[in-house]
Amino acid sequence: MITLTEHGDVAEITLDRHDKRNALDVAHLTELTAAVEGCVSAGRRALVITGAGSAFSAGADFGGVYGDGFRTALYTALRAITAAPIPVIAAVNGPAIGAGTQLAIACDLRVVAPSAKFAIPTARNGLAVDPWTIRRLAGLAGGGTARAVLLACDTLDAPTAVARGLADRLGTVDEARALAQEIASYAPLSLMYSKRAVQALTEPDSWDDRLDAEFDQCWASADFAESRLARAENRLPKFVGK
């Protein structure tokens, strides 16, 4: 489900589950975490993450998102990307939905194809994303865009994502590779420091305990259980706010 290729100092991880539009499950995320950490251990100086086929990632595989371990696997993978001491570039070759958007914004830079789209439609599914994701989204694209994506479940196309700062530039996977090769020629210690400094200034480690509690409450709610049942019964969920 993960393909790893190397181009000199640059490694490329491809989410290779195109029959499922690269939907993420526990096994997929575990492999992704291992691949990222392996690239760092091997001394690669830049990393590209992209998707096979026409999608970057359709998000969480709903066959697994309701099971134990999915959230742990997802946030372990996201932390592996943000903790990597090298620049990580998302080559967003198509739709990045839900956890796909989370994966893309965990990367340091995003090069997006014209067919790329971003959305986090958790409110439609009785789910929630963690405070880090919301802070990262708002930091990149602004509070207005974060509200539109999370509250109105808006979908952002590639030009809009670039215009609002969610993506850095329009381009193909080849252009993302070329950017990674250029970055790999830069001073590694300077890159590592800059990555860490930006994170320290924009994403403090501490969170409001109430936010963490409310995030956990969403996943333990009756609405979450209703979402799971509605999906199994192939109907729209009926949320009651409990």
The pair of structure tokens assigned to 60 is: 């969480």
Q: Can you give the pLDDT at residue 14?
A: 98
Comparing 67 with 154, which gets the higher pLDDT?
A: 154
Confidence of residue 208 (pLDDT cuts 50, 70, 90): low
pLDDT digits (tens, 9 = 90+) for 123-138: 998 889 999 999 999 9
For the chain, where are the alpha helices, taking DSSP H only? Answer: 26-41, 70-83, 99-106, 122-125, 131-141, 143-151, 158-164, 173-184, 188-202, 209-219, 222-232
Tens digit of each residue's pLDDT (9 = 90 or more) over 89-102: 999 999 999 999 99
Q: Is 4 helix (H, G, I), strand (E, B) or coil?
A: strand
Beta strands 109-112 and 156-157, pairing class: unpaired
Lowest mean pLDDT among 88-102, 116-130, 143-157, 198-212: 198-212
Instruction: Place 204 in a pLDDT band, splitting at 50, 70 and 90.
Output: low
Q: Which residue has the higher pLDDT, 190 or 206?
A: 190
Q: What is the pLDDT of residue 205?
A: 58
pLDDT-derived band at 13 (thresholds 50, 70, 90) equals very high
State residue 200's pLDDT score: 82
Query: Of the given ranges (48-62, 100-114, 226-240), which has the lowest mean pLDDT?
Result: 226-240
Kindly indicate the confidence band of residue 226, based on its pLDDT and cuts at 50, 70 and 90. confident
Q: Tens digit of pLDDT for each residue in 175-197?
A: 999 999 999 999 999 999 999 98
Computed over every residue of the chain, the mean pLDDT equals 91
Task: Sort 236 into a burial class: Cβ within 10 Å, 0-12 / 13-18 / 19+.
Answer: exposed
Does pLDDT of 211 surpass 70? Answer: no
Q: Can you tell me the mean pLDDT for 45-56?
A: 97
Query: What was the pLDDT predicted at 206?
Result: 47
